[in-house]
Amino acid sequence: MSEDLGYHPRELLITSIARLAKGARHAAAGAQSPVPGSGLFLAQHWAEKSGGPRMQVTVLGSKKYYPFTDGGRELFDMAGQGRLDVFFLSGGQIDGHGNSNLVGIGDYPQVDVRFPGSFGSAYLFYVVPRVILFREEHTRRVFVDKVDFVSTPGTSPQNVYRPGGPVALITPLCLFSFDRNRGRFTLESIHAGHTLEEVLDNTGFDFDRPGTVPTTEPPSTEDLSVMRTMIAPKIADAYPKFAREMWGYEPKAAAS
């Protein structure tokens, strides 16, 4: 935890993700996405507290929060039917046009560095209305001018029917929004403890920004308490190591 801020930097990311997911009917996070998953549970808490429609949260790899029994097929079917509002994607490379690379670095197919692969990411990029790009490394090797391989295209020609696509990119330094019509990112806010110069130095693509870039809104005292007491046991179902290291929560099964 940062003693100066009063919260862990990841708790700021979780809160920012929750704000991006507000109003969703159904949102899902992947099997290696504890920070996005925690953000969805916080957004779900806000929805329940406000008395509004309940937000369904699906976490791949969770026994309790993954209701499907046929792998990812059912989730993909639901997304294709327009019943999944928010999903998260990352990439070994992400460029300023919203494209991500999950295949490798170098001239395909003879890549020098191999990434895990695209799986169903391109499909979800086309059909999920709010895709949030998330990466916990903000460097020029990740955020490049042009990806070496397009796994998920940020934009499509106007004659292509596409209800889904990226809406934002969140990193340990800042928050970007994405304009699908223009195919460009805009710097929306910079996280406390970081500077515009730091963002510029570590970003390999060009982006728009206002004259004065605001500081990302920090988590409230109440939200910090909710994360540490209510969300920790929920996220521990799929990410016990994260819950333990982040909030000191020891899952009961592991403790016994």
Of residues 137 and 61, the one with the higher pLDDT is 137
Asked if residue 3 is part of any domain, the answer here is no
Domain that holds residue 120: 9-255
The rounded distance, in Å, linking the Cα atoms of 21 and 132 is 9
Asked if residue 136 is part of any domain, the answer here is yes
Asked if residue 1 is part of any domain, the answer here is no
Confidence of residue 252 (pLDDT cuts 50, 70, 90): confident
Look at residue 254 and tell me whether its pLDDT is greater than 90.
no
Asked if residue 4 is part of any domain, the answer here is no
CA dist 226 to 49, 220, 237, 244, Å? Answer: 12, 10, 17, 16
The rounded distance, in Å, linking the Cα atoms of 235 and 237 is 5
Asked if residue 164 is part of any domain, the answer here is yes
Confidence of residue 71 (pLDDT cuts 50, 70, 90): confident
Asked if residue 189 is part of any domain, the answer here is yes
pLDDT of residue 256: 41
Average pLDDT over residues 18-47: 96
pLDDT of residue 14: 98
What is the pTM (predicted TM-score) of this model?
A: 0.94
Asked if residue 14 is part of any domain, the answer here is yes
Report the chain's mean pLDDT, rounded to a whole number. Answer: 94
pLDDT of residue 2: 55
Residues 174-191 pLDDT 10s:
999 999 999 999 999 999
Q: How many beta carbons lie within 10 A of that of residue 241, not counting itself? A: 11
Residues 194-234 pLDDT 10s:
999 999 999 999 999 999 999 999 999 999 999 999 999 99
Look at residue 1 and tell me whether its pLDDT is greater than 90.
no
Average pLDDT over residues 116-135: 95
Strand order in 56-59's β-sheet?
56-59, 26-29, 86-89, 130-134, 166-170, 174-179, 184-190
> Which residues neighbour 53 within 8 Å (Cβ) at sequence distance 6 or greater?
25, 47
pLDDT of residue 3: 53
And the tokens for 238? 């799929």
pLDDT of residue 70: 82
pLDDT of residue 253: 55
Look at residue 255 and tell me whether its pLDDT is greater than 50.
no
Question: What total number of domains does the chain contain?
Answer: 1
Q: What CATH number has the domain bearing residue 193?
A: 3.40.1080.10
The rounded distance, in Å, linking the Cα atoms of 6 and 211 is 28
Average pLDDT over residues 105-128: 93
Asked if residue 2 is part of any domain, the answer here is no
Percent of the chain with pLDDT over 90: 88
Place of tokens 């004065």: 212
**Upper half-sphere CA count for residue 27 (Cβ side, 13 Å):** 29
